[in-house]
Amino acid sequence: MIELAPVFPRSNVVVTARYPIGPESANRMQVITHDLTTASRAEEGCVLYHVAESMEKEGVFSLFMIRQDEASYERYAGSDYVRAFNSILSGGMISGSPVIEKGRPLG
């Protein structure tokens, strides 16, 4: 079990994302999110990074991450591995629009 600090600084950036993936691409999504997660967790500024597959809606994947600050998030978002991930998704895997939201911890 991962222990989380009871309070995250307001300088952290919290990102949630939901990706609807076609059923024929669900297995591939598991592989590419594994690679994305490994690279993201190793990057400086990553506080938490987790991807999950919905148990209720087939083909829906959710990402939850906390980055140290906005600069760390911008480095992540502009990284080669994130660009490659987005390129693979836009190549026919995604079956709708992803919903991506950024926020700040409330304390």
- The owner of tokens 């591995």 is 81
| Angle, CA 61 vertex, CA 1 and CA 83 arms, to 5° | 100
Question: Can you give the CATH number for the domain in which 21 is found?
Answer: 3.30.70.100
Q: How far is CA 14 from CA 10, 48, 92, in A?
A: 10, 9, 27
Q: Could you give the number of structural domains in the chain?
A: 1
Residue 5 lies in a domain: no
Q: Which domain holds residue 40?
A: 13-103
Answer yes or no: is 43 within a domain: yes
pTM exceeding the 0.75 threshold for the entire prediction = yes
Residue 67 lies in a domain: yes
Bridge partners (DSSP) listed for residue 99:
18
Q: Does 4 map to a domain?
A: no
Residue 2 lies in a domain: no
Spatial CA neighbour of 36 closest among 63, 14, 58: 63
Would 78 be classed as within a structural domain? Answer: yes
Residue 85 inside a domain? The answer is yes
The pLDDT, as a whole number, for residue 1 is 61
Q: Is 59 part of a structural domain of the chain?
A: yes
**Per-residue pLDDT, 107:** 66
Query: Over its length of 107 residues, how does the chain's per-residue pLDDT go in tens digits?
Result: 666 555 778 899 999 999 999 888 989 999 999 999 999 999 999 999 999 999 999 899 999 999 999 999 999 999 999 999 999 999 889 998 899 999 998 86
